[in-house]
Amino acid sequence: MSIAVFDCSDIDQYLGKPMQPARMREPIHNNDIRRWAQAMHYPNLLHYDADYAAEGRWGRLVAPQSFAVTMDDGHGAGPACVGSIPNSHLLFGGDEWWFYGPRIQGGDLVHNERIPFDYTVKDTKFAGPTCFQRGDNNYYNQNGELIAKQRSTSIRYLAEAGREKTTDVVEGTEDPVWSDEELAQIQDRKFDWVQMLHELGHGKRYWDDIQIGTALPERVIGPHSIASFTTEWRAYLFTIWGGTHRRTDLDMEALGFVKEMAGHENDPVMERINPELTDGAYFGPSRGHLFPRWARFIGMPRAYGYGASMGAWIVDYLAGWAGEWGMVTHSVASYRGPAFTGDITIMTGTVVDKFVDDNGRDVVQIDCRMVNQLGTTLATAKAEVALPRK
């Protein structure tokens, strides 16, 4: 199989042209924010404890910076998935984020303006000819303020390559087994990072005190399960029946998805007839995350997590360390492989630079790495975090 027969030319007609925007039907509720923090395993009191938040910088609950992605009806993938590639599958490849300052709060009504950006085709070990497609998401609040921009990358490859990959999936189809002692140790490691959040509290992490080479505390999530992935999925607001103004220009089969993975996800007509077919949990392209059979259909050994959640874990990791007086200003993450059921995810970070950026902000630059318990790299990221100065 050669790149020449992998035809992505239909994408060209969409590049640079705004798509139908994503819009929620009602304003955000505090419980939407709480549900997101809980689903992303992010126990930062600012985002769920009203009494604690009232004593802090904003005087009320605010959403995590990562919450912006819930304002899209496809966790940022829409503008990175236009144009027909016949008989293809799709995975997430990464996200780049720019944050501009406004925080999302209960009562806000946020919309997403989406513009397909570009694509390139490369030969990969995973699937042979593969399309890396990017699209921009611009998140605005009801006042017209730009909250964040997300440049999402999708990985599109031929279904035949996924089937060939499946024939090689012999090992790794079963979850690892953890002893009670190991599970207790994991919980201790997880709480060490939570304790860091508590110790900083409403205080400030000063730019002056951070040195190049400073290591961020380890963050551990997991062991993952179908239950935890389902909890994550249900925290994306577009998965709620009737909660979003659905796209009328979305046709999975027209995009080239094979029949088994197309279905009616986000279909506004079918949502009024049989919504269970449309919410992504049971049918359509997202069901590979929650059903091992369909995970193997696209070349994954078992149920696996969401790329957008991995991006959120990274942003939350950095924002939690920075504290409420700091802010993630920019992050670019590349996803190398998903989190599988039974595995744990371990995040580490190191400060590699510090400087004053073009906007006059005191910034530290951080290299971040995400691995599983075997040391397999799941994602890498580089980010800039603004901190207060003494």
Asked if residue 270 belongs to a domain, the reply is: yes
Residue type at 242 in one-letter notation? G
Asked if residue 377 belongs to a domain, the reply is: no
Asked if residue 125 belongs to a domain, the reply is: yes
Which tens digit of pLDDT belongs to each residue from 12-30? 999 999 999 989 999 999 9
How far is residue 377's CA from residue 379's CA, in Å, rounded to a whole number?
A: 6
Residue 105 belongs to domain with CATH number: 3.10.129.10
Strands of the sheet with 345-356, listed across from one edge: 215-221, 345-356, 362-372, 377-386, 327-335, 88-99, 146-158, 128-140, 111-124, 22-24, 244-245
| 168 pLDDT higher than 80 | no
| Residue whose token pair is 């995973």 | 126
Asked if residue 332 belongs to a domain, the reply is: no
* Mean local confidence (pLDDT), 301-310: 94
316, HSE (Cβ side, Cα atoms, 13 Å): 32
Helix (H, G, I), strand (E, B) or coil at 24: strand
**296 vs 17, residue with greater confidence:** 17
Asked if residue 291 belongs to a domain, the reply is: yes
Range of the domain at 17: 9-177+225-324
Asked if residue 366 belongs to a domain, the reply is: no
Phi-psi region of 10 (alpha: psi -120 to 50; beta: other; left: phi over 0): alpha
pLDDT for position 5: 65
Question: CB under 8 Å to 31, separation ≥6 — which residues?
Answer: none
| 166 pLDDT higher than 70 | no
Among the listed residues 41, 139, 72, 75, the one whose alpha carbon sits nearest the alpha carbon of residue 308: 75
pLDDT for position 87: 84
* Mean local confidence (pLDDT), 282-289: 90
Q: Total structural domains in the chain?
A: 1
Q: What is the mean pLDDT of the chain?
A: 93
Question: How many of the other CB atoms lie within 10 Å of CB of 142?
Answer: 11
Among the listed residues 64, 23, 5, 60, the one whose alpha carbon sits nearest the alpha carbon of residue 311: 64
pLDDT for position 169: 46
Which tens digit of pLDDT belongs to each residue from 53-99? 999 999 999 999 999 999 998 889 999 999 999 888 888 889 999 99
Asked if residue 259 belongs to a domain, the reply is: yes
DSSP 68-122: GGGGSTTTT-GGGS-S--SSEEEEEEEEEEEE-SPPP-TT---EEEEEEEEEEEE
Asked if residue 165 belongs to a domain, the reply is: yes
To the nearest 10 degrees (0 to 180), the angle between helices 180-200 and 307-322 is: 50
pLDDT band at 268; cut points 50, 70, 90: very high
